[in-house]
Amino acid sequence: NKILEDLSTTRKSVQEEIVNKHNQLRRMVSPPGGDLLKMQWNDDAHVNAQRIANLKCGENIFRVNYPASWSHVIQSWYDEVNDFSFGSGPNPTDAVVEHYMR
């Protein structure tokens, strides 16, 4: 399936998209995270993450009925910041913010 191939994390262009989007959003965190180092792709971490995902242990959930770019997925997780207050947590208290906090 061409669509799934285009989203494969084995593709260098996809790896760059994922890393660039994470770094872009990490720069926007407020208050700034003093220990947030620039993220870079790591093949060993990728292999380990895929191994864990194959066991169906993943937690960063995203589901749509259309092909979504990695940038769209990552942005949707980040957008949970709108329901998160630093120092006090989710606002409202039942808001889903786990993806943002990871």
Give the architecture-level CATH label for domain 2-33+40-101.
3-Layer(aba) Sandwich (3.40)
- Helix/strand/coil for 83: helix
Measured CA to CA, the distance from residue 32 to residue 72 in angstroms comes to 23
Average pLDDT, the chain: 85
Assess whether pLDDT exceeds 80 at residue 34.
no
Q: Per the structure block, which two tokens stand in for 101?
A: 């906090």
Give the distance from CA 52 to its chain's centroid: 16
Residue carrying the six token digits 């792709």: 41
Which of the two residues, 99 and 28, has the higher pLDDT score? Answer: 28
- Other beta carbons within 10 Å of 77: 20
